[in-house]
Every structure is written in structure tokens, then in C-alpha cells.
Structure 1
Amino acid sequence: MTARAADDSALWIAALIRQFPELARELAPGRSGPLAPHASYGSYGSYGSYGERPPAASRPAAEARMREEKREALLLQQRHGLAVPGYGAAPIRLHVSDTIRDITDGVIELEEAACARLGVPRPRAAGVPVRLRRIAALLEQIGAHPVLARHVRDELRRMARRCARALGDTEQVVRVSGRCPWCDSVSLRAFPDRRAVLCVNPACRCTDEECGCHDDPAYRHLWPEGEWAPLAAAAGCRTDELDAAMEGTAP
């Protein structure tokens, strides 16, 4: 894995560590305390006012849904280490639950695959943030195995993007002056959440054969913070402009 690819993986790990715990709060939004009396069957907007019991004919379906929601909450707490704040019988956003399961399973499989390939002991059970930090500690060793390195980078990117979509995040993008050193287009953009500059031109290709821009149509060449000074010199922009863009103070 090149230094650039390692930086890419580290950025996606940092994004997942920051955003994954937020998924628990999105499972049952609007819940901050115990349920009101007689709210066993209801949900916001499901059967009129909150706490109103459904018609008798609808109760079996409502009870089945509530049991499923409680089962989901218990699974999330036991398996993923995430407890829904103030959870009682509040309805769960199942697409968020699916995202939590997908990311949890993906991180477990990724760490176990990396450890198996590197010949290190099988990792102990732990929550997603802990596993992600352990993967980050292995990035240098992973770099000696190009196929594994690409898989790690691609899976981390996929999971970080799915997490962001489930949270409804729209990443802030700030235009940067100057031209891309690789494609000479005015396509440089700052992404403050990642503290990175990307070239958003789909046709851009750098000279590093290990860079994801060569083998992944969705990938965009990226400059992490440590490369801003040479980027500014090559692109014709200023490092203070990049700093301002990352802090949201760019004009």
C-alpha cells in the first residue's frame, strides 16, 4: 500500500469512528425519555395521536411489529454495543438498523481477514470503534500485500459512505482555486469533514499506479493534509486558502 493509499484508509477509518455511534441516535429519533402510558402499540403518526391504541383488528399486526422492534433493539445492544437512547417501544428506523449490522459485520470480517493474511492472532471481540483502531494500527503491515490493501481501502470507503447516507449527511464541499497538477482542470475541491482536497474530474489520473483513481471509477485523487504544501505550489493556490476552506472560513 502506498503512503497515499494508507492515508485514504486512515481517513475513512476516522470518519467511521466519528459517525458510527451517531447511528444509535438515528434508530428511534425524537425519543428522550420513557414512553407515555398506553403507548405500547402506537408510533408517531401510525394510529393517530401518540399513545392511542389501534383498532382491535389491527392489534396483532401492531404487536408483531413492536416485538420485532424490541428484538432489533436488543440485538443492537447485545451484538453491536449500541443502545437506543430512551428506547422503550419506539419504532426503529430499519434502514439504520440494517446499516449498523452491515458496518459491524463488515468491520469484523475486514479485521479478521487482515489478521489471517498477516499471520497475526485472531482479534478478540470488541466494538466497532475499537476494531477500526486496530485495523488502523495494521495499515503499515497491510501495505505489503497489494490485493489486501486495495480490499481494505475499498471496504472502508464503502462502509463510511453507507454510514453517511444513513445519517443523511451531505458532505460540505468548498471550491479551491488553481488547477489540478494531474489533469490541469479547475476541479480541486476541499472536503472539510475528511480534511482532504480532491480532484473531482472523473477523467483525472495521477502517475501513482497504486492510486485508486486507476482502478475504481468512483475514486477521486486525494491530497491529505500532509500534502497540502506541495499541492498548493503545484496548483497555484495558497496553503492558507486550504486551511480556511477546511475551517469553513473561505470566501
Structure 2
Amino acid sequence: MAPITPATPATPTAQAARWIDRLLQQLPELVAELAPGRPAPAHRLAAPPSTGHGTAPIRVHVSDALRDITDGVFELEEAVCDRLGLPRPHRASVPERLRRIAALLDGIAADPVLAAHVRDESRRLARRCARALGDTETVVRVSGRCPRCDSVSLRDFPERGAVLCVNPGCPAGPERRQGRDEAVPGALAAREVGVAPATVRKWVQLGRLQVAGRAGRARLFRLEDVFAAERAARSGSRGRGDSGDAP
């Protein structure tokens, strides 16, 4: 996703501190998820069922996440100490390593390259932990249009401190192309562009929007096509001088 404008300006080390704190809070829960026979909390996504013959489910996704986080924290602390000219850190638990990195943030702030790396890596690890626990990121719709693709596709991601364009067809960068084939039901497509489901059906009837597939009886649409249809409807309404289909 392409950043449009930060919602709340913050230094890289301040952002890193928040991600480290979040990771410290969620790590114990992730470790507890490995306990044999432990039921998943109601607000979490269920773990994949075990295909083995044991009595306890094998939560491979949790184990993989813990391994990734452990290796990531170890490598991050090593990189920080090497960059700051500090002795190689002694062995410690992941939480202890995270606290040691947090204690070095004032020194890290003096090196913009290192500060950005610590922020990005702590964010990646915190999100890795959250995904393994089944957490979803808070997303808030923003009024107005993306200045790059002119779609009603701006969303506020409070945890990232940024407003991003979620249109898969936005030309903001090459990474945007990877989500272009994602198809969503008509009701979700309508909600994404802020119109009634009947308007989406009308766009199909008028030839402005193509059906990308079906899930049972429900028609599916590519988000990129939905945003394009909304722009076309708005442009047509301007030409006629009325409100038409546009939201």
C-alpha cells in the first residue's frame, strides 16, 4: 500500500518503541498458544486442525511465528550493537533482548538509517505475532479521494500512523499490483466505494463493471474494477450536471 500522508507524525524511534511495547505484551500469549490442549480464546481465529494422531493439536503456525520472532529479535539486537560499536550482546530471552533494544533507542535515534531499520523490523515482528494470534488491524475509512488514482480508496491505519490507498490499481508503486486479482462480493464492493449495493448492480447493467467470478450465487468483483467504475460514474455525472450514480 502506498502511504499518502502520516496521520500522526512520530519519529522512527518513537514508532519503534510502540511496536516493541506491543510485541512485549503479545509474546506471552503467543507462547501460551503452544500449550497442548489449550483452547483458543473466542476472539481469536481458530488454529488449523491437526492432521496427526496425537490428542493435542500441532500449532505449526504458532511455532513458526515464534521461531521467526526469536531469530528476528536476535539479529536486530546484533545489528544495533554492531552499528553503535557496542560489545556483542550476551544470551538472553526474547523479552529481555527487546527491553535492551528499547533502552538503546536514544542512541539509535542519532543514526537515521539504523532508526528506520529498527522501526521497520520491530513493526514486522509485532505484526507477525499479531497475525499468528489471529488479530486484525484496525482500518478506518477516510473521506476524500486518493491524489494519485482519484479513487475513494483512502483508509486510516492508526497503528501505522498513516493514511494509505487500498486501491489495487493505484499507480503509487509496483507493490500495488500484487492485489489486483482479489475479488470481493458485491456488498463489500459497494461498501468500499461508499455506494448502495443496488448501484453496483446498476454499474454491471450499464457495462461499467464486469463480474470477475462467482462464489455460489454471489457475484464477485475485482476491487480495481470497482474503483474504476465509481470514477467513471462520477465523471459521467459531472458531464450531465446531476448526481447520477456517484456517491
Structure 2 length normalisation: TM-score?
A: 0.50
Which has a greater percent of strand?
2
Structure 1 length normalisation: TM-score?
A: 0.49
